């Protein structure tokens, strides 16, 4: 039962990380759209704003990928990676790897289903490549922030850190209980 509670706690933290990075990405997209509107440079490309809800499936998929990544990383790598900060960086990289696999699956299905090998090049413009680069950098930045917050505030990691601080490098107790 305690493992289930721990998994629910980790899944909630993963969902919060996914929600944070999706929200910051949407905020950056809205700021870009506003500045494009102020400059009056082809606002049609940035008219896919929040109003059209294009971001809803992407945000839900990102949250799902974040939950799965956090559960996998905490289950299989928590004993190897001692730093909560680095653990959440691995969660972010795993989430982006999940996005890459999803994109590869979509492109592969399009190529097999319709025989269209140029699907990827036809659908992406240079503005969309810039948006993807901003998304990737935002996910990295949000995971840096989120990992820092988790290191500073999470009671899950503070017990582990306190026990590591109480021992020196040779397993001898430094601090009496």
List, as one string, the DSSP characters of 52-121: GTTHHHHHHHHHHHHHHHHHHHHHHTTTT---HHHHHHHHHHHHHHHHHHHHHHHHHHHHHHH--TTHHH
**Model pTM?**
0.73
Name the token pair of 132.
């993807």
Q: CA 33, 35, 41: angle at the middle one, nearest 5?
A: 80
Q: Please give the chain's pLDDT, 177 residues, in tens.
A: 788 888 898 899 899 999 998 888 888 878 877 777 777 655 555 555 556 667 788 889 999 999 999 999 988 887 787 778 888 889 989 999 999 999 888 888 877 887 776 766 776 777 777 778 888 888 888 888 888 888 777 655 555 555 555 555 555 554 454
């Amino acid at each position: 039962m305690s493992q289930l509670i721990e998994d629910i706690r980790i899944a909630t933290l993963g969902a919060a990380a996914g929600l944070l990075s999706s929200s910051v990405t949407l905020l950056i997209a809205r700021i870009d759209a506003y500045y494009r509107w102020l400059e009056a440079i082809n606002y049609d490309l940035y008219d896919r704003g929040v109003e059209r809800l294009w971001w809803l499936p992407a945000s839900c998929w990102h949250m799902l990928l974040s939950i799965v990544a956090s559960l996998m990383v905490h289950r299989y790598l928590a004993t190897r990676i001692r730093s909560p900060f680095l653990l959440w960086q691995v969660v972010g990289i795993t989430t982006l790897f999940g996005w890459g696999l999803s994109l590869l699956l979509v492109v592969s299905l399009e190529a097999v289903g319709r025989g269209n090998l140029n699907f990827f090049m036809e659908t992406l413009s240079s503005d969309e490549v810039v948006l993807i680069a901003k998304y990737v950098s935002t996910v990295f930045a949000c995971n840096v922030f989120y990992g820092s917050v988790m290191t500073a505030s999470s009671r899950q990691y503070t017990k582990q850190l306190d026990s590591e601080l109480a021992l020196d490098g040779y397993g001898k107790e430094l601090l009496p209980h």
